[in-house]
Structure 1
Amino acid sequence: MSSLTARKITDIDLARRLVEQRGLSHVKVGVFDIDGVLRGKYMQRDKFFHALEHGFSFCDVVLGWDSKDELYDNVTYTGWHTGYPDALLRIVPESCRDLTCEGDMLLFLAEFDGPAGEICPRRLLQRVLARGGEMGFKVCGSLEYEFFLFQETPESIRDKGYRNLKPLTPDMMGYSMLRSSVHSELYHELLALSEAMDFPIEGLHTETGPGVLEAAIAVDDALPAADKGALFKVFTKVWAQRRGLMATFMAKWSPDYPGQSGHIHLSLRHTDSDTSAFFDADKPFGMSDIQRHFVAGQQKLMPEFLCLFAPTINSYTRLIPGFWAPTEATWGVENRTTALRVIPGSDKSQRVEYRLGSADANPYLALSAAIGAGLYGIAHRLEPDEPVKGNAYELDHPEHQSLPRTLWDAAQRLKASEAARELFGDAFVEHFAATREWEERQFRKHITDWELDRYFEII
Structure 2
Amino acid sequence: MEPGTSAARERQRLLARQEAARLSAEGVRAVALTFVDNAGITRVKSVPTARLAHAAHRGVGMSPAFDVFTSDDSIAASPHLGGPDGDLRLFPDLNLLTILAAQPGWAWAPVDRYDQQGVPHPACQRQFARRMTALAAERGLEPLMGFETEWIVDPPGSGPAYGMARVVERSEYLLELHDALAAQRIEVLQIHPEYSPGQFEVSTAPADPVRAADQLILVRETVRAVTARHGLRASFAPAFTAGQVGNGCHLHVGLRRPGGGNPHRDPDRPYGLAADAEAFLAAVLRSLPALCAVGAPSPASYLRLVPSHWAGPYRCWGVENRETALRLVPGDPTDPDDGHAELKCFDAAANPYLVVGAVLAAGLAGVDAGLEAGYALPEPVRGDPAARGDQERLPASLTEAAAHFERDDVLREAFGEVLHGAVLAVRRAEAKRFADSTPEEIADATRWSY
Do the two structures share a fold, i.e. TM-score over 0.5? yes
More displaced stretch, 48-57 vs 296-305: 48-57
CA shift for structure 1 position 261: 1.2
Letter aligned with residue 289 of structure 1 = A
- State whether structure 2 residue 286 is matched by structure 1 residue 300: yes
Letter aligned with residue 243 of structure 1 = H
1:431 to 419, 422, 425: 422
Gap change, CA 1:418 and 1:150, over 3 Å in 2 = same
Letter aligned with residue 109 of structure 2 = F
Residue in 1 aligned with 2:411?
Answer: 420
Query: Contact between 2:14 and 2:53, CA under 8 Å: does it hold in 1?
Result: no
Q: Tell me, in whole angstroms, the C-alpha distance in 2 between the residues paired with 1:95 and 1:373.
A: 28
CA shift for structure 1 position 435: 0.6
Query: Contact between 1:354 and 1:370, CA under 8 Å: does it hold in 2?
Result: no
Residue in 2 aligned with 1:71?
Answer: 75
Gap change, CA 1:130 and 1:70, over 3 Å in 2 = same
2:396 to 384, 393, 405: 405
Gap change, CA 1:270 and 1:246, over 3 Å in 2 = same
Q: SS of the counterpart of 2:186?
A: coil
Q: How does 1:148-163 map to 2 (within 5 A)?
A: 148-151=152-155
Gap change, CA 1:445 and 1:340, over 3 Å in 2 = closer
CA shift for structure 1 position 239: 2.0
Residue in 2 aligned with 1:30?
Answer: 34
Residue in 1 aligned with 2:382?
Answer: 389
Residue in 2 aligned with 1:456?
Answer: none
Query: Contact between 1:38 and 1:234, CA under 8 Å: does it hold in 2?
Result: no
CA shift for structure 1 position 242: 2.7
Q: How does 1:138-217 map to 2 (within 5 A)?
A: 138-151=142-155, 167=156, 169-170=157-158, 173-217=160-204
Q: Tell me, in whole angstroms, the C-alpha distance in 1 between the residues paired with 2:238 and 2:438.
A: 20
CA shift for structure 1 position 77: 2.7
Residue in 1 aligned with 2:263?
Answer: 277
Residue in 1 aligned with 2:54?
Answer: 50
Letter aligned with residue 120 of structure 1 = C
CA shift for structure 1 position 359: 2.8
Q: Tell me, in whole angstroms, the C-alpha distance in 1 between the residues paired with 2:353 and 2:23.
A: 31
Gaps of 5+ in 2: 1-10, 443-450
Q: Please list the CA deviations of residues 306-344 of structure 1 after superposition, one character each: whole Å capped at 9, or x if unmatched.
A: 110110000001111111112221001111111111111
Q: How does 1:78-97 map to 2 (within 5 A)?
A: 78-80=81-83, 83-97=84-98
Q: Tell me, in whole angstroms, the C-alpha distance in 2 between the residues paired with 1:449 and 1:402.
A: 23
Query: Contact between 1:299 and 1:330, CA under 8 Å: does it hold in 2?
Result: yes
Q: Tell me, in whole angstroms, the C-alpha distance in 1 between the residues paired with 2:175 and 2:127.
A: 34
CA shift for structure 1 position 102: 3.9
Q: Please list the CA deviations of residues 173-201 of structure 1 after superposition, one character each: whole Å capped at 9, or x if unmatched.
A: 23212221232111101111111233332
Gap change, CA 1:12 and 1:280, over 3 Å in 2 = farther
Letter aligned with residue 384 of structure 1 = L
Q: Tell me, in whole angstroms, the C-alpha distance in 2 between the residues paired with 1:290 and 1:355.
A: 22
Gap change, CA 1:228 and 1:64, over 3 Å in 2 = same
More displaced stretch, 309-318 vs 340-349: 340-349
Q: SS of the counterpart of 1:262?
A: coil
Q: SS of the counterpart of 2:92?
A: strand
- State whether structure 2 residue 320 is matched by structure 1 residue 316: no
Q: Tell me, in whole angstroms, the C-alpha distance in 2 between the residues paired with 1:69 and 1:330.
A: 35
Give the TM-score normalised by the residue count of structure 1.
Answer: 0.85
Q: Please list the CA deviations of residues 433-455 of structure 1 after superposition, one character each: whole Å capped at 9, or x if unmatched.
A: 1110001111136577689xxxx
Residue in 2 aligned with 1:441?
Answer: 432
Number of aligned positions between the proteins: 419
Q: Please list the CA deviations of residues 194-250 of structure 1 after superposition, one character each: whole Å capped at 9, or x if unmatched.
A: 112333321011112211111111211111111011221222122212321111111
Q: Tell me, in whole angstroms, the C-alpha distance in 2 between the residues paired with 1:414 and 1:95.
A: 32
Q: Tell me, in whole angstroms, the C-alpha distance in 2 between the residues paired with 1:436 and 1:450.
A: 18
Letter aligned with residue 158 of structure 2 = P
Letter aligned with residue 330 of structure 1 = C
Q: Tell me, in whole angstroms, the C-alpha distance in 2 between the residues paired with 1:369 and 1:31.
A: 17
Q: Please list the CA deviations of residues 65-85 of structure 1 after superposition, one character each: whole Å capped at 9, or x if unmatched.
A: 22222111x3133323xx332
CA shift for structure 1 position 255: 3.4
Higher RCO (CA < 8 A, seq sep 6+): 2
Query: Contact between 2:250 and 2:346, CA under 8 Å: does it hold in 1?
Result: yes
Gap change, CA 1:335 and 1:187, over 3 Å in 2 = same
Q: Tell me, in whole angstroms, the C-alpha distance in 2 between the residues paired with 1:36 and 1:107.
A: 18
CA shift for structure 1 position 25: 5.6
Gap change, CA 1:26 and 1:318, over 3 Å in 2 = closer
Query: Contact between 2:253 and 2:342, CA under 8 Å: does it hold in 1?
Result: yes
Query: Contact between 1:294 and 1:375, CA under 8 Å: does it hold in 2?
Result: yes
CA shift for structure 1 position 26: 4.2
Residue in 1 aligned with 2:336?
Answer: 347
Give the TM-score normalised by the residue count of structure 2.
Answer: 0.87
Q: Tell me, in whole angstroms, the C-alpha distance in 2 between the residues paired with 1:360 and 1:177.
A: 28
Q: SS of the counterpart of 2:290?
A: helix
